[in-house]
Amino acid sequence: MPINDNYTIPEPVIQFLVNGNRSFLALRLVHGLIYVIHCTLKGNMKIVPAQFSKEHSVRTGILAAAVGPEKSKDNRWLHTACRELADQKIFDTIKIEGRRLRFKLSKRFSDSFGTKSTVFAIMQTAQVRACRTMHDLMFLSLACLHGGKRWPKFYLPRLPKRLEMPDPQLTVMPQMTPEQAGWRMSWSRSSRSWVKAGLFASPGREG
């Protein structure tokens, strides 16, 4: 059965996740692990650096029930997310062994929990499960972070896009990869997705 529960994420952790080069499935899995950490520590997230300095494990079924895609019928997304997280500087170790996922937080990620902050995002597992795109999950995280404000205002990140090789040409000269300066989507390319994400995260939405 799906897990419908709340969990909290300190502002420095949200900023760490929003501002890095993340992928959608990887970020979904990170939210699942943060939910597990929240439950283990009973919401006392500032002690994460001390309590989660070593390798820990969790049943994959818990992660799937908490934040797995709503229409997913298997755990292939978990395996994909694990592979993607290998290059995203969030975990020193993350792997699936049978029905358990083993992980060890990176020092940078762990330290973000210990950074002093009085602002927290109150997230809901059901809302994370319903997210369909990176824009949905990013906007949801930022909206929850500012949910207690009367007139919230926050910056939307420029999300990374996958670099593509140029069309093959009949030439003996070596092909060059695209310039790194354009590795994040422009507002003109992402504005429609952000608008959809805003509607997804609106207070009137069931979830």
Q: What's the rounded Cα separation, in Å, for the pair 176 and 137? A: 33
Q: Work out the number of other CB atoms within 10 angstroms of the CB of residue 203.
A: 6
pLDDT, average across residues 122-145: 86
- The answer to whether domain 1-207 has CATH 1.10.40.30 is no
Q: Are residues 129 and 67 in contact, defined by beta-carbon separation less than 8 angstroms?
A: yes
What is the band of 195 on the pLDDT scale with cuts at 50, 70, 90?
very low
**For the chain, which residues make up each domain, given as ranges?**
1-207
**Can you give the pLDDT at residue 9?**
95
**Sign of the alpha-carbon dihedral angle for 75, 81, 83, 89:** negative
Q: What percent of the chain has pLDDT over 90?
A: 44
**Can you give the pLDDT at residue 169?**
45
Amino acid at 168: P
Supply φ then ψ for residue 80, to 5 degrees.
Answer: -65, -45
User: What token pair was written down for 173?
Assistant: 């000269």
Supply φ then ψ for residue 56, to 5 degrees.
Answer: -130, 170
- Interval 56-104: pLDDT, tens: 999 999 999 999 988 777 889 999 999 988 778 899 999 999 999 999 9
